[in-house]
Amino acid sequence: MSVQTKKQTTDNPKIIGRLLLVVVAMFGFGFALVPLYDVFCDVTGLNGKTGDKVNFETAPTVDESRLVKITFLASLNESMPWEFKPQQNFIEVHPGKPTTINYIAKNISSKSIVGNAVPSVSPGLAAAYFQKTECFCFTQQELKAGEEKIMPVTFIVDSELSDEINEIALSYTFFISKQNNEDLADNNLTAKSINTFK
């Protein structure tokens, strides 16, 4: 044993300490991946994530020579008791020109529900060039029982958009907001309660 003790360059507590530090750091790294992932997607536009509200100080130049077709999609998370669709299925726009279109949402349940819409743009690489100046997805939307509401989106397709992309699909999915999960649990409306029911 004595030979080994002399040979030791680092004693056990030091090794344990250092390795535990790595353990804590890697545990933190797991959580750090969450914001890193968002930053990565924002920067690269991967994953079809669109950015937050864009404010133009000067009107962007309109590229009259080009038309881009925007297709509108609407879907509901499975347990969402709403009706939700775009007023028109597609529109052709010149890049740089602000355009407003409407979605229509209707609450067909007997309760007031807060929902939030999550946008997604496909192809993912176009996401960074699809800029929304006004959108119902920026805030939570509340619909009372039976209420119908027109939900406008104003957007500009950046004229820097690659020539290879001539069609963009914009999709919204409405989710039941976590804000009202509690009240709705009794109503078998939330995903969790539906699962329990099954």
Give CA–CA dist 9/150, Å, rounded: 72
Binding mask 93-132 for other proteins (x = CB under 8 A): -----------------------x-x-----xx-------
User: Does residue 169 touch other proteins according to CB under 8 A?
Assistant: no
Nearest-approach distance from CB 98 to other proteins, in angstroms: 26
8 Å CB contact between 115 and 173: no
Which burial class, exposed, middle or buried, applies to 178 when counting CB atoms under 10 A from its CB (0-12, 13-18, 19+)?
A: exposed
- Interaction mask 134-163, other proteins, x per CB under 8 A: ------------------------------
Collapsed DSSP state (helix, strand, coil) of residue 103: strand
**With binding defined as CB under 8 A, does residue 187 bind other proteins?**
no
Smallest gap from residue 187 Cβ to other proteins (A): 16
* Residues linked to residue 135 through DSSP beta bridges, in sequence order: 153
For the CB of residue 42, give the shortest distance to other proteins in the complex, in Å: 12
Query: Bridge partners of 119?
Result: 172
User: Do the beta carbons of residue 115 and residue 137 sit within 8 Å?
Assistant: no
Q: CA 103 to CA 108: how far, in whole Å?
A: 16
Stretch that binds other proteins, among 45-53, 56-64, 96-104, 153-161 (CB under 8 A): 45-53
| Cβ neighbours around 103 below 10 Å, total | 22
Closest CA to 171 of 153, 156, 196: 153
Q: Does 3 bind other proteins (CB under 8 A)?
A: yes
- 58, 65, 139, 195: which one contacts other proteins (CB under 8 A)? 195
Rounded Cα gap, residues 60 and 74, in angstroms: 28
27 is an interface residue for other proteins by CB under 8 A: yes
CB of 6 to other proteins, least distance (A): 9
Cβ 88 to other proteins shortest distance, Å:
25
- 168 and 111 in contact (C-beta within 8 Å)? no
Q: Which residues of this chain interact with other proteins, rule CB under 8 A?
A: 1, 3-4, 7-12, 15-16, 19-20, 22-31, 33-34, 37-38, 44, 46-48, 77, 116, 118, 124-125, 173, 175-178, 191-192, 195
